[in-house]
Amino acid sequence: MCKIIYMKSDLHIVKIGGNVINDEVALTSFLKDFASIKGLKILVHGGGKKASEMAEKIGLTPRMKNGRRITDAANLEVVIMVYAGLLNKNITAKLQEQNCNAIGLSGADANSIKAHKRIVKDIDYGFAGDVDKVNDTALKVFLENSLTPVFCAITHDKNGQLLNTNADTIASEIAASLASSYNVHLVYCFEKNGVLKDINDDDSVIEDINSKSYKELKQKNIIADGMLPKLENCFYALHKGVKKIIIGNPSVIVTKDQKYTSLTV
């Protein structure tokens, strides 16, 4: 009997945050490294401080609650302009320069990420979107045609409304949706070397975390605040079939010489 075994291709999904985006030199260097990753890849980028700067320039006051932006209609216009326009297209053009065939996308494009406006409980986050579904069929069309999707953190509700969505969540939702089709390597890049035991000691990286040790780290309050939603996103993706997730500084995508955090289910 003949058995055909389909080997899954590797797919790297990398998320970069604001600190890289805010620094022109660091961004250019990161994009060179990202372009050098062989094979299939997807980039997800956060917003950086440019949206707040632009909002202030046009006389708006950015409002935050629990580290998340309150997106009223005027601020929504600003984040669409900055995330989906300025940042997304500049990143795409810079990747094209590096011969990486990037395609900049919001969730509205090719209906790639459908979301709904966050339901008001204690806080009204305005036009904030919680993801319903990633259109893996559309993403596969791009990947199989050697395109590299570059996602900004804007989604839509399929009823004509654009929504501001957390970029960490977008990365984990994309990873989860593609885990059955590819060997997904999900990497979260940020300004630290990984998840730290002591927030003031960049060398105190917790090198391995799994579901069990995560529970303990939470109970002991070693992992808290802004790191919690990031790790919740990670374990969501791991439970959906992503094999391994790395959290580290941007150089982790090309070298494993430095410390970083590795997450498994």
Binding site for its own copies (CB under 8 A): 54, 57-59, 77, 80-86, 88-90, 92-94, 96-97, 101-106, 108-111, 138, 141, 145, 147, 154, 156, 158-162
Smaller CB separation from its own copies, 16 or 76: 76
Give me the least distance between CB of 107 and its own copies, in Å please. 9
Give me the least distance between CB of 202 and its own copies, in Å please. 31
Give me the least distance between CB of 111 and its own copies, in Å please. 5
3 state SS of 44: strand
Give me the least distance between CB of 170 and its own copies, in Å please. 15
Residue showing tokens 């320069």: 97
Give me the least distance between CB of 180 and its own copies, in Å please. 20
Give me the least distance between CB of 139 and its own copies, in Å please. 12
Backbone angles phi, psi at 181, to 5 degrees: -105, -25
Smaller CB separation from its own copies, 62 or 241: 62
Transcribe 68-109 into DSSP letters: EEEB-HHHHHHHIIIIIIIIHHHHHHHHHHTT--EEEE-TTG
3 state SS of 182: strand
Smaller CB separation from its own copies, 142 or 235: 142
Smaller CB separation from its own copies, 56 or 208: 56
Within 13 A of 143's CA, how many CA atoms are on the CB side? 23
Smaller CB separation from its own copies, 42 or 80: 80
Cα 256–Cα 191–Cα 194 angle in degrees, nearest 5? 50
240's tokens: 């959906």
Residue showing tokens 């990286």: 205
Residues whose CB falls within 8 Å of the CB of residue 220, separated by 6 or more in sequence, listed in order: none
**Torsion angle, alpha carbons of 252, 200, 20, 41, to 10:** 30
Smaller CB separation from its own copies, 41 or 185: 41
Identify the H or E element spanning 142.
helix 136-144
Smaller CB separation from its own copies, 85 or 241: 85
Give me the least distance between CB of 116 and its own copies, in Å please. 14
Q: How far apart are CA 191 and CA 208, in angstroms?
A: 19
